[in-house]
Amino acid sequence: MNGRWSNDEKAINSSQKTSAVPLKRLFVQFVVMVATGFVFLYLEKKTLATVIFTMAFIMTMLGVVAPSVFSAVEQVSKKAGVWIGEKITWVVLAVVYFIFFVPGRLILLLLHKDILERQFPGKETSYWRDCQKIRDPAKYQKQY
């Protein structure tokens, strides 16, 4: 089957895709890194700005001269970004939990409040609760 969608052509197209870096993406990455460098220069962090400018230059040159190396570096940095994002998420969630939920629960315990009514029921004959009857039928149409 040597048609348009043959496996050989797919292999050729996939190898061409990995070796060529779209210039638009490369340009956007360069502009973002340079802008970040200027922000750190404005904040008088000269060492960090120099590192970022150097990384922008190296990544741009890799994209132009050795696109396959650039793609490999980009893939590694994406995986590192995902890993760092997962770790930061867990840290932030733990901090939010201990800042908001733990003190809230302690306050409810001090006030002897049981909002969820988790207390084991007594020896009542019925656990039925009376509720308010809806008198306006329009409430059934727009419940929220």
Radius of gyration of the chain (CA): 30
Stated pTM of the model: 0.51
Find the angle CA(34)-CA(60)-CA(27) to the nearest 5 degrees. 65
Closest to 65 (Cα-Cα) out of 109, 97, 21, 127: 21
Residue 1 inside a domain? The answer is no
- Split into its structural domains, the chain has a count of 1
pLDDT, tens digit (0-9, with 9 covering 90-100), for 50-107? 999 999 999 999 888 888 888 888 899 999 999 999 999 999 999 999 999 999 999 9
Q: How many residues does the chain have?
A: 144
Residue 51 inside a domain? The answer is yes
Residue 130 inside a domain? The answer is yes
Residue 2 inside a domain? The answer is no
DSSP label at residue 137: T
Domain that holds residue 101: 7-141
H or E element in which residue 60 lies: helix 46-65
